[in-house]
Amino acid sequence: MSEVLAASEAAATDVSVPAAPGARPFWRRLRAQRAALVAAVVVALLVLVALAAPLLTALEGQDPTTYHPGLIDSARGGVPVGSFGGAGADHWLGVEPQTGRDLFARLVYGARVSLGVALAATVVQIALGVTVGVAAALGNRWVDQLLSRLTDIIVAMPLMIMSLALLAIVPQSFPRPVLVALVIGLIAWGNIAKIVRAQTLTLKGLDHVAAARLSGWGAWRIARRELLPGLAAPVITYAALLVPTNIAVEAALSFLGVGVKPPTPSWGQMLTAADVWYQAAPQYLLFPAGALFVTVVALTVLGDGVRTALDPRAASRLRVGTGRKREAGAETPDTAAGPRTAGTDPRPRTAGTDTQPRTAGTGAEARAAGTDKEETA
Amino acid sequence: MSVFGGLTGFVLRRVLGAVATLFALSVIVYVVFYAAPGNVAQITCGPRCSPEQLHQVAQQLRLDDPLHVRYWHFLEGLVAGHDYSTGTSVEHCPAPCLGVSYQSGRQVMSIITAKLPVSLSLVAGAMVLWLVLGVGTGVLSAWRRGRTSERVLTALTLAGTATPVFVIGLVLMIVVCGEFQWLPFPQYVNLTDDPEQWAWNLLLPWLSLALIEAAAFARLTRASMLETLAEDHIRTFRAYGVGERSVVGRHALRGALAPVIALNANNVGSAVGGAVLTETLFGLPGIGQELVHAVNVVDLPVVVGMVLVVGFFVVIANTVADVLFAVADRRVVLA
Amino acid sequence: MRQTSVIARRVAAASVSLVVAAGAAACGPEDNDAKSTGGDAQPHKGGTLSVLNAQPQEDFDPARLYTSGGGNVPSLVFRTLTTRNRENGAAGAKVVPDLATDTGRPSKDATVWTYTLKEGLKYEDGTPITSADIKYGIERSFAPELSGGAPYLRDWLVGAADYQGPYKDKKGLAAIETPDSRTIVFHLNKPEGEFPFLATQTQFTPVPKSKDTGTKYEEHPVSSGPYKVVKNENDGEHLVLERNPHWSAATDAERKAYPDRIDVRSGLDSSVINQRLSASQGADAAAVTTDTNLGPAELAKVSGDKALAARVGTGHFGYTNYIAFNPKVKPFDNPKVRQAIAYAVDRSSVVNAAGGSALAEPATTFLPNQKSFGYTPYDPFPAGASGNAAKARELLDEAGYKNGLTVTLTHSNSKDFETSPEIATALQDALKKAGITVKLQGLEENDYKSKIHDVKSEPGFFLAHWGADWPSGGPFLAPIFDGRQIVKDGANFNTGQLNDKSVNAEIDAINKLTDLDAAAQRWGALDKKIGEQALTVPLFHPVYKRLYGKDVKNIVISDWTGVLDISQVAVK
């Protein structure tokens, strides 16, 4: 499922967001979208719950590891005693079958692992993607060739399959959540590197960057002062959509038995243990599934909102055309004069397919455009 | 330089690039997996294996050779095939030879070819479904934008994206096969043996995989359609009184198809990833299930072989997509 | 040691374990042997029996299979010199003749065993089965390419230790003589009163030399049993068996062979198997499973449904899950620390983690609680149902750990509910009450096995299990506690590294006995003596609970295998 998410998010992500708008208009535009606002509140709450997990469980008077054998019926496979999975004043969401551990405590501690792994993986992906993308765009032909090839290889590695295989061979002494985050981060940075490279090439051709180059600034200074601010928008947009993908990947890997290991509670881990309890103790499955669902939906909606807020010009079609023509041009020596800019391409939707495998770049933008129209209509 | 020549050059570069990518992928994958720790000989030989047996197994598996020698041997096998001993006889592993399984002693290539029809059946059928579902939903929600029905559809696609396939699949199976008994519990039947049973048994796995993948297509279709609908020539159509159905159904949809095809071509890796989960859940004997098994018993030749084969498909699909778009793009420019 | 065959290779969601079982012959009302399920209970010939399994029937070669009593599906194709008695309960733990006319005639000191084949035995192609074929079948199991079987033949046969099989060493094994085509004689290097049990394993299946294709033999092994292989796809993933016309019921008192055809499907998720068996629709009405237990979640559902509960077969297989200590590692060199842990263990939460009281029975003895093993109840460190933390603290004080103790518990990450994280976390929670902080070290199955079975890397404190190669104390105690079986440079199973002269001597003395009842009693006494050393802490004996389809009749579950015997089942 996870990669599917990657696809959907990539499909919906454009690579051609121009330089970042000011912070204030960004917030204004984000606030203008009701759905995104609600999503932002939900995400903030989730993060808060994860951070305050010890506090919340203390409030409940439980912890995620203590067994309560008295609350389960051993002869019936350890199903919780009482209705609603033993929910009540002591155990707000009831207890886990077979162990009697407190479900609420496990859920909120699980949020820490699930969100933590996903965020850490995203950080690794962005760090790698931005570094490789910028280096490829600013480096000479050989550097670009080498890094672009490397990116191609990374993109060709099926995330699910590689991480499944990798996680199985790394020694178990390695802390598991860190490992899962690292593996996801190390395998799935190809798309973001492609986006960043394309965007950097675009920015490089812009006047003020060219001016900076002519005035003899070093590559590092240019990258820091002129390029990184311009990269912020697409990177933030992409990151907002990577987080839910990574949450889903972690869950899927746990399902296949190579993710975070018990007793560490993660949502994926809980789902894995719970899915057979669907009939006997439905709440055991429904709570982690619901939490995962809400998180992924909220993050996705928020990601959409962020993109819309960052790219208001999408609606007015003043876009920087991206995509395979320019990309191909950049790769072709005889036309490598430099990237063409701005919406000269009559069919921008065919663009982006090269810079961004499995994404037709325009999709997202068009969607953003649509959203904008809706909001203003 | 003729236009066609430029295109040929582009295609050639793409194909060469793909070959180079595949080669590099094989090096990386091979080194990563074979350099990893773990006593392969012990695992292969089984518990209570005598030291002599252990030594023999190690020799047979060429575990004492340095890594680059083994990789070279692997590459030779890939290009030219090679012979190996089964104890009673010498067997030939024809090119492209991906090696021999540590566990079962079968050739990796024959394991993969035996499993491939299952995975292809799964992915191909699911693909039809997710295209129909995804594009259909996308068109509908673009057409009905701003109305309640559109919001419901959007919510549904989000739900599809946000629910893990192993939850959807299991719940579907319990409800559809267990409670109501509308469908048989999926069990793979060869297409050539009984096409009707084949489809009937695969319906649920197709649906589970498709529900998840469809969301991406729905979002993309809707977005592209909205963009096209906003374009000048559509306005012109409308101004000329072309019916709304025709505008949406023919002109706008046509414009949305290109990105959908692109997304689909580039979706191979993702689909195989989804297939791993689906096959594991439904017990379909495809390459995904085999990979999970191979990973669990550390059957490295099978793991490496499978990763390479899937990588191969991904690279080919990406290259084909690129080339198709180069062709399409030329036409656009020429037109 | 039936480890490999039992290990769950499932990675899928399911919490159904492939747990194996043990238990007393007389163990309560649940122990219904479910002879039939009402209605027309008479079994008839015909129909197709489906087998829905999680694990493929890999390496379907008699040389490579590691079975207890010849296995379930393998036993339909491979006949052996002796076999298990196909009867319910404790009677099923007996060994009976199969190809041979009796269970073997020992020499006075049980070092020479002689068998005579029945008359009129034929392979699926109508050619006669000879004693030379049995000798050849055993010899080829020594070939390194066909490894996988139990180690006993190599350990017991004279001059077999370095034998490399008939492909490399054409002379064959001198320890096996075939004076005529119906007689076979085995020469052992030490007395082994339980040789008839060993002769139930598939290595004692005749293999015609002219049909041997080495590692490819598994694709179509030549049948000596009631069914022959007509299809073997993907290394045992899909196996189809049909009647062997040359098999004669007159020579085979054990196998009923009612169905005409047997269709074995594997690679299925265990929750799917149980869903299908409980729905029992279409062909699944005539389906059974030979490797998938009901999981706790399914048990909760089944227990509320009478019709479904009537279709559950309950059985016991000689099997023990336990904590193992390596006394070479501190602080487990101190018996008081080991005893403290034994006292602190909460068996009720461990049993819950293993699936609840219906799927696991708390264990205080290393031997399974069955008569044939010589079960002698004892509990040297009575912890009660949920642990005696006070006594444990007291012992820790005496051992010099007044302020508690931190230890690492090694376990596997497989989802088998045996050595898996669920059991480990239950122990972690219980030991906390006694002031012992447990850190968990979860290892992938293969990594785990290679670590715990290597004296150089063996951890001090880990989860382990042991299953019966045959229902007797010998193969249960000797590999684990015989000091001469400590293996320094290979896979070692004497994890406590016990080398006690009196224990070794007693094992030798019992092996000389050919009176198996007398032997059982002494195994039980020996178990008690070893148990007092706290080298292991027995946790539980699993119970098998398995669903079968609604058309399935003639259910026979022996204490030998604990699962319904597929050779007895009828679907008409």
User: For residue range C378-426, what is the model confidence (pLDDT) as tens digits?
Assistant: 999 999 888 999 999 999 999 999 888 999 999 987 777 888 888 999 9
CB–CB of C283/C551 below 8 Å? no
Phi and psi dihedrals of A282, rounded to 5?
-55, -35
Q: Count Cβ–Cβ pairs < 8 Å, chain B vs chain C.
A: 125
Q: What mean pLDDT do residues A11-34 have?
A: 60
- Check residue C17 and give its pLDDT: 27
CATH number, domain with residue B308: 1.10.3720.10
Between helix A159-169 and helix B268-282 the angle, nearest 10°, is 60
Q: C341: which 2 tokens?
A: 């842990």
**Are residues B238 and B185 both part of a single domain?**
yes
pLDDT digits (tens, 9 = 90+) for A340-368: 333 333 333 333 333 333 333 333 333 33
- Of A1, A194, A284, which to mutate for an interface test with B (greatest number of B Cβ within 10 Å)? A1
Q: B287: which 2 tokens?
A: 């390459």
Buried b or exposed e, range A54-77, using 16+ CB within 10 angstroms: eebbeebebebbebbbebbbbebb
Average pLDDT, chain B: 76
- Check residue C136 and give its pLDDT: 96
Percent of chain A with pLDDT over 70: 75
**Are residues B138 and B172 both part of a single domain?**
yes
Q: C193: which 2 tokens?
A: 């009163």
pLDDT digits (tens, 9 = 90+) for C455-476: 888 999 999 999 888 999 988 9
- Residue C523 vs residue B93, higher pLDDT: C523
**Are residues B209 and B157 both part of a single domain?**
yes
Helix (H) or strand (E) holding C525: helix C516-531
Count CB-CB contacts under 10 A for residue B146: 12
- CA of B279 to nearest chain C CA: how many angstroms apart? 9
Contact A5 B292 (CB under 8 A): no
- Tell me which residue of C449, C232, A253 sits closest to B298, measured CA to CA: C449
Banded pLDDT at B266 (limits 50, 70, 90): low
Q: What is the DSSP string of B8-58?
A: HHHHHHHHHHHHHHHHHHHHHHHHHHHTS-S-HHHHHH-TT--HHHHHHHH
**Are residues B57 and B8 both part of a single domain?**
yes
Which residues of chain B does C216 touch, with a Cβ-Cβ cutoff of 8 Å?
86
Helix (H) or strand (E) holding A247: helix A228-255
- Tell me which residue of A251, A263, A300, A295 sits closest to A109, measured CA to CA: A263
Q: What mean pLDDT do residues A289-301 have?
A: 84
**Are residues B128 and B214 both part of a single domain?**
yes
Q: Is A289 on the interface with B (CB under 8 A)?
A: yes
Q: Count Cβ–Cβ pairs < 8 Å, chain A vs chain C.
A: 123
Its ipTM equals 0.73
The span from the CA of C84 to the CA of C118, in Å, is 17
- Check residue C287 and give its pLDDT: 95
Q: Are strands C48-52 and C287-288 parallel, antiparallel or unpaired?
A: parallel
The span from the CA of A103 to the CA of A288, in Å, is 9
Percent of chain C with pLDDT over 90: 63
CB–CB of C95/C83 below 8 Å? yes
- Check residue B31 and give its pLDDT: 82
Helix (H) or strand (E) holding A23: helix A23-31
Chains that touch B (3 or more CB pairs under 8 A): A, C
Looking at chain B, list the stretches that DSSP marks H as alpha helix, in order from N- to C-terminal side.
Answer: 3-34, 40-45, 51-60, 67-80, 108-143, 148-162, 165-172, 195-229, 232-239, 244-246, 253-265, 268-282, 287-296, 300-334
Contact A277 C297 (CB under 8 A): yes
The span from the CA of C462 to the CA of C451, in Å, is 10
Buried b or exposed e, range C304-320, using 16+ CB within 10 angstroms: eeeebeebbbbbbbbbb
Residue B334 belongs to a domain = no
Residue B198 has pLDDT above 60, yes or no: yes
For residue C358, which amino acid is it? Answer: A
Banded pLDDT at A172 (limits 50, 70, 90): low
Looking at B80, B108, B136, the residue that finishes a domain is B108
Which residues of chain A does C409 touch, with a Cβ-Cβ cutoff of 8 Å?
none
Residue B30 belongs to a domain = yes
- Residue C288 vs residue B326, higher pLDDT: C288
Residue C29 has pLDDT above 50, yes or no: no
Residue of chain B with shortest Cα separation from A332? B10
Q: C172: which 2 tokens?
A: 């064959």
The span from the CA of B56 to the CA of A170, in Å, is 26
Looking at B91, B108, B125, the residue that finishes a domain is B108
Looking at B108, B130, B158, the residue that finishes a domain is B108
Average pLDDT, chain A: 71
Which residues of chain B does C233 touch, with a Cβ-Cβ cutoff of 8 Å?
114
The span from the CA of B328 to the CA of B323, in Å, is 9
**Are residues B246 and B160 both part of a single domain?**
yes
**Are residues B120 and B92 both part of a single domain?**
no
Buried b or exposed e, range C86-111, using 16+ CB within 10 angstroms: bbbbbebbbbbbbbbeebbebeeebb
Q: Closest to B329 (Cβ–Cβ): which among A325, A368, A370?
A: A325
Chains that touch C (3 or more CB pairs under 8 A): A, B
**Are residues B127 and B262 both part of a single domain?**
yes
Q: What mean pLDDT do residues B281-292 have?
A: 82
- CA of C257 to nearest chain A CA: how many angstroms apart? 35
Please state, in angstroms and as integers, the Cα–Cα distance from residue C177 to each residue in A291, C111, C135, C158, C193, following that order: 69, 14, 8, 12, 19
- Check residue B329 and give its pLDDT: 56
Q: What mean pLDDT do residues C152-157 have?
A: 91
Residue A58 has pLDDT above 60, yes or no: yes
Residue B69 belongs to a domain = yes
Average pLDDT, chain C: 87
- Check residue B309 and give its pLDDT: 86
**Are residues B44 and B132 both part of a single domain?**
no
Residue of chain C with shortest Cα separation from A68? C349
**Are residues B99 and B146 both part of a single domain?**
no
- How many structural domains comprise chain B? 2
- Check residue B60 and give its pLDDT: 66
Banded pLDDT at C246 (limits 50, 70, 90): very high
Q: Closest to B274 (Cβ–Cβ): which among A3, A285, A366?
A: A3
Helix (H) or strand (E) holding C411: strand C405-412
Residue of chain A with shortest Cα separation from B25? A153
Banded pLDDT at C34 (limits 50, 70, 90): very low
Residue B26 belongs to a domain = yes
Residue C45 has pLDDT above 90, yes or no: yes
Q: C428: which 2 tokens?
A: 């972690």
Please state, in angstroms and as integers, the Cα–Cα distance from residue C91 to each residue in A57, C86, C561, following that order: 54, 8, 12
Ranked by mean pLDDT, the top range of A166-175, B159-168, B268-277, C540-549 is C540-549
- Of A276, A278, A279, which to mutate for an interface test with C (greatest number of C Cβ within 10 Å)? A276
pLDDT digits (tens, 9 = 90+) for B51-108: 666 676 677 667 777 788 888 888 888 888 777 766 556 778 887 888 887 777 778 8
- Check residue A213 and give its pLDDT: 73
The span from the CA of C275 to the CA of C298, in Å, is 9
Q: B256: which 2 tokens?
A: 């949305």
Residue C59 has pLDDT above 90, yes or no: no
- CA of B287 to nearest chain C CA: how many angstroms apart? 12
Buried b or exposed e, range C184-206, using 16+ CB within 10 angstroms: bbbbbeebbbbbbbbbbbbbbbb
Q: What mean pLDDT do residues C491-516 have?
A: 91
**Residue C320: strand pairing partners:** C466
Q: Are strands C48-52 and C261-265 parallel, antiparallel or unpaired?
A: parallel
Q: A325: which 2 tokens?
A: 């023509």
Q: Is C429 on the interface with A (CB under 8 A)?
A: yes
Residue C47 has pLDDT above 50, yes or no: yes
- Check residue B87 and give its pLDDT: 56
Q: What mean pLDDT do residues C19-25 have?
A: 30
Q: What mean pLDDT do residues A324-339 have?
A: 33
Judging by beta carbons within 10 Å of its beta carbon (0-12, 13-18, 19+), is residue B232 exposed, middle or buried? exposed
Q: Is C273 on the interface with A (CB under 8 A)?
A: no
The span from the CA of A276 to the CA of B167, in Å, is 10
**Are residues B169 and B143 both part of a single domain?**
yes
**Are residues B19 and B64 both part of a single domain?**
yes
Q: Please report, to the nearest 10 degrees, the dihedral formed by the alpha carbons of residues A305, A309, A314, A315 taken in order.
A: 90
Q: Is A145 on the interface with C (CB under 8 A)?
A: no
- B188 lies in which domain range? 115-328
Residue of chain C with shortest Cα separation from B299? C446
Banded pLDDT at C22 (limits 50, 70, 90): very low
Residue B19 belongs to a domain = yes
Banded pLDDT at C301 (limits 50, 70, 90): confident
Q: C82: which 2 tokens?
A: 């002796």
Please state, in angstroms and as integers, the Cα–Cα distance from residue B214 to each residue in A208, B132, B135, B233, following that order: 43, 8, 8, 29
**Residue C185: strand pairing partners:** C114, C177
Which residues of chain A does B19 touch, with a Cβ-Cβ cutoff of 8 Å?
none
- Check residue A353 and give its pLDDT: 30
Residue B333 belongs to a domain = no
- Check residue B53 and give its pLDDT: 63
Contact B216 A8 (CB under 8 A): yes
Q: What mean pLDDT do residues C342-353 have?
A: 94
- Check residue C140 and give its pLDDT: 93
Residue B8 belongs to a domain = yes
- CA of B249 to nearest chain A CA: how many angstroms apart? 18
Phi and psi dihedrals of C269, rounded to 5?
-65, 140
Residue of chain C with shortest Cα separation from A275? C13
Q: What mean pLDDT do residues A72-92 have?
A: 82
